[in-house]
């Protein structure tokens, strides 16, 4: 380590426009001899990098960037680590200081704030963040997905305005759909949602839509999605959350003077008003989607229950491969429907799957949806038994479940293996198991084990495809069949 004292400036460069780069941030960049950052952010300040050493890294290499900056500063360098927006909000300030703490580095660290993306988007939309709000990133690169869904549900239930960062990507489109479905459990489909992409820089795109229409809107990884609270309204193309919360607001939408209907807050376990679940537009889109699926399916499968499950599976995945890949074990549909009508428990492997299941339909049947993943004893059980956390969660939940349990697994093949192992050990078998995990390691093998065992009825699929959205669709189809009253 050099005797010369180095400095690391953690700089928020704002949304990318020159006018919103804070003077102190500009001075820090000018003072530094080395600039470290994501290559896309370095391009935003290219004119300020002349004569400087610029070290660009890609997304996902945050820790490597932090270690590089600290190493250079420990050798006496003056380093500016740049983040878009504010460095302390989903930026590099936390990463770099974590690295410094682990290394017990004594380099000087200076954090310089910037205009964060939520504030930039809010300014373009009007005043959606004028009252309490929550900020949640939907990227699961650094945060487990079940934690993300739990936070979204908590914020939605508490009626916060919610700013969603990193809402979707090519590999996470199905997960954004699951979040929208979760939000619709707690918010009216008429709730205003602001969408801002590339605020204050080239390619800027701004829109305000209704929550019920969000899945058909243009949303990318670079869009900030701001979901209004029950008090948020739109007037003259501006999204407004009242600062005086008890104030009576004029609820209009643009120039149409159309009132926004706001149902009362709904507790998750209460019966759900159908108006809250979907808008009329959403219903028409769903009906048209089923028409297109039915047309492409043709006459097969002829069994109405199998067809109902298959069409919802295709609707959730847009993948007609399930026509050939889905596997209905003998008597599986009948067993699952009997269990649901008897008020059995739906036991799921992850919280995301619980969020995707229609709790209102389950409630009508007296069915509880349970997940053992976040049980206090789960981590200890996983450690002592040498299990994955998901497998441990299934074991804990199944130990506490009663007769008629429906086990639904969309994430972890190890949970399928643990379920079979428990039944082999003497635990009462479930009424039915739906096991359609997705992935590369152990997935096909676990599905094969499920289809070969003869302890309980099952639904699964061949190959690697699957996931929580698919399993939620299957469970919802079974709930719909159970509610209809006809024999499957």
Give per-residue pLDDT as tens, 375-431.
878 888 888 888 888 888 898 888 877 667 999 999 889 999 999 999 999 889 999
Over residues 78-101, the mean pLDDT reads 92
pLDDT at 58 over 70: yes
Mean pLDDT score, 71-98:
92
DSSP summary character for residue 243: S
Residue 212 inside a domain? The answer is yes
Q: Give the pLDDT mean for 196-215.
A: 90
Residues 294 and 372 in one domain: yes
What sign for the dihedral angle of Cα 265, 266, 271, 276?
positive
Does 142 or 75 have the greater pLDDT score?
75
303 and 237 share one domain: no
CATH of residue 69's domain is 3.40.1010.10
- How much is the pLDDT for 283? 67
Residues 182 and 60 in one domain: no
Cβ neighbours for 264, distance < 8 A, ≥ 6 positions apart = none
Inside any domain, residue 24: yes
For residues 191 and 297, membership in a common domain is answered with no
CB 42 within 8 A of CB 54: yes
Q: Which of 218, 315, 324, 375 is catalytic?
A: 315
391 lies in the same domain as 254: no
> How large is the average pLDDT for residues 151-168?
93
Q: What's residue 39's pLDDT?
A: 87
The verdict on 198 and 261 lying in the same domain is yes
Does residue 359 have a pLDDT over 70? yes
Confidence grade of residue 260 (pLDDT, cut at 50, 70, 90): very low
Tell me which residue of 225, 238, 240, 222 sits closest to 16, measured CA to CA.
222
The residues, any chain, with a CB within 8 Å of residue 368's CB and separated by 6 or more, are 345, 346, 362
Distance CA 192, CA 334 (A): 42
Q: The dihedral of CA 82, 83, 88, 92: what is its sign?
A: negative
Mean pLDDT of 186-199: 91
Is the residue at 359 inside a domain?
yes
Last residue of a domain, one of 246, 274, 302: 274
Mean pLDDT of the chain: 86
Q: Are residues 243 and 381 in the same domain?
A: no
Q: Identify the pLDDT of residue 168.
A: 86
* Domain presence at residue 72: yes
Statement to judge: residues 186 and 126 lie in one domain:
yes
Q: Can you give the CATH number for the domain in which 402 is found?
A: 3.40.50.10230
Top pLDDT among 283 and 39 is at 39
The DSSP string of 327-392 is EE-TTHHHHHHHHHHTT--EEESSHHHHHHS-HHHHHHTT--EEE-TT-TTHHHHHHHHT--HHHH
Say if residue 96's pLDDT is above 50. Answer: yes
Same domain, 253 and 305: no
Tokens standing for residue 138: 């939907």
Torsion of CA 324, 330, 333, 334, to 10 degrees: 160
Does 29 share its domain with 150?
Answer: no
Sheet (strand 108-112) strand order: 53-57, 34-38, 78-83, 7-12, 108-112
Report which of residues 395 and 170 the model is more confident about: 395
Looking up residue 234, the CATH number of its domain turns out to be 3.30.950.10
Domain end marker among 115, 150, 170: 115
**Are residues 347 and 198 part of one domain?**
no
The answer to whether 324 is a known catalytic residue is no
CB 313 within 8 A of CB 474: yes
**CA-to-CA distance for 418 and 390, rounded, in angstroms?**
9
Give yes or no for residue 246 having a pLDDT over 60. no
Find the helix or strand (DSSP H, E) in which 247 lies.
none
Q: Which domain holds residue 219?
A: 119-274
Residue 355 shares a structural domain with residue 307: yes
Greater confidence, 251 or 381?
A: 381
Q: Is residue 2 part of a domain?
A: no
Final residue belonging to a domain, choices 258, 274, 290: 274
Q: Is the pLDDT of residue 151 over 90?
A: yes
Dist CA 157 CA 146 (whole Å):
16
- 3-state class (DSSP) for residue 114: coil
- CA-based end-to-end distance of the chain: 73
- The model scores a pTM over 0.85: no
Domain count, the chain: 3
Q: What is the pLDDT of residues 303-325, one digit of tens each?
A: 899 999 999 999 988 899 999 99
The residue behind tokens 């669709």 is 473
Q: Please report whether residue 160 resides in a domain.
A: yes
Decide: 431 and 335 in contact? Cβ < 8 Å: yes
- Residue 16, pLDDT score: 81
* pLDDT at site 277: 43
3-state DSSP assignment of residue 413: helix
Lowest mean per-residue pLDDT among 155-159, 190-194, 223-227, 242-246: 242-246
What integer pLDDT is reported at residue 282 of this predicted model?
59
* Structural domain includes residue 1: no
Domain membership flag for residue 219: yes
CA distance 4 to 208: 53
- Which pLDDT does position 1 carry in this prediction? 47
Which run of H or of E encompasses 34? strand 34-38
Neighbours of 449 (CB within 10 A): 18
User: Hey, is 274 helix, strand or coil?
Assistant: helix
Question: Both tokens of residue 360?
Answer: 């209102």
Per 3-state DSSP, what percentage of the chain is helix, strand, and coil (rounded to 5)? 45, 15, 40
Angle at 251 between CA 267 and CA 179, to 5 degrees: 40
């Amino acid at each position: 380590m050099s005797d010369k004292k180095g400095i690391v400036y953690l700089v928020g460069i704002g949304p990318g426009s020159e006018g919103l780069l804070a003077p102190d941030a500009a001075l820090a960049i000018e003072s530094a001899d080395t600039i470290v950052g994501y290559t896309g952010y370095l391009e935003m300040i290219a004119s300020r990098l002349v004569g400087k050493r610029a070290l660009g890294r890609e997304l996902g290499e945050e820790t490597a960037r932090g270690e590089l900056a600290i190493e250079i500063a420990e050798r006496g360098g003056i380093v500016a680590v740049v983040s878009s927006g504010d460095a302390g909000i989903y930026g590099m300030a936390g990463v770099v200081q974590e690295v410094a703490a682990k290394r017990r580095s004594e380099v000087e660290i200076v954090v310089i704030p910037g205009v964060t993306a939520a504030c930039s988007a809010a300014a373009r939309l009007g005043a959606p963040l004028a009252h309490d709000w929550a900020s949640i990133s939907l990227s699961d690169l650094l945060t487990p997905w079940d934690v993300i869904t739990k936070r979204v549900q908590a914020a939605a239930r508490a009626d916060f305005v919610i700013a969603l960062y990193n809402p979707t990507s090519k590999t996470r489109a199905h997960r954004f759909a699951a979040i929208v479905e979760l939000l619709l459990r707690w918010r009216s489909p008429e709730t205003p949602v602001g969408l801002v992409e590339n605020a204050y820089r080239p390619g800027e795109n701004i829109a305000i839509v209704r929550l019920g229409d969000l899945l058909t809107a243009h949303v990318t990884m670079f869009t900030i999605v701001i979901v209004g609270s029950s008090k948020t309204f739109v007037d003259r193309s501006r999204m407004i959350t009242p600062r005086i919360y008890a104030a009576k607001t004029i609820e209009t939408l643009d120039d149409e003077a159309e009132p926004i209907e706001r149902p009362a807050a709904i507790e998750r376990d209460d019966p759900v008003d159908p108006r809250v679940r979907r808008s009329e537009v959403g219903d028409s889109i769903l009906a048209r989607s089923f028409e297109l699926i039915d047309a492409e399916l043709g006459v097969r499968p002829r069994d109405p229950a199998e067809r109902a499950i298959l069409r919802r599976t295709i609707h959730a995945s847009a993948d007609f491969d399930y026509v050939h890949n889905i596997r209905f074990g003998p008597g599986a549909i009948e067993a699952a429907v009997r269990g649901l009508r008897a008020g059995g428990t739906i036991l799921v492997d992850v919280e995301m799957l619980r969020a995707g299941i229609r709790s209102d339909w389950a409630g009508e049947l007296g069915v509880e949806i349970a997940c053992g993943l976040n049980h206090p004893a789960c981590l200890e059980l996983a450690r002592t038994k040498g299990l994955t956390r998901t497998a441990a969660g299934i074991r804990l939940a199944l130990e506490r479940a009663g007769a008629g349990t429906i086990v639904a697994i969309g994430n972890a093949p190890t949970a399928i293996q643990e379920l079979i192992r428990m039944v082999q050990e003497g635990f009462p078998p479930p009424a039915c198991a739906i096991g359609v995990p997705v992935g590369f390691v152990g997935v096909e093998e676990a599905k094969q084990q499920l289809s070969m065992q003869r302890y309980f009825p099952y639904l699964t699929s061949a190959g690697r495809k699957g996931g929580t959205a698919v399993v939620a669709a299957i469970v919802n189809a079974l709930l719909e069949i159970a509610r209809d009253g006809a024999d499957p």
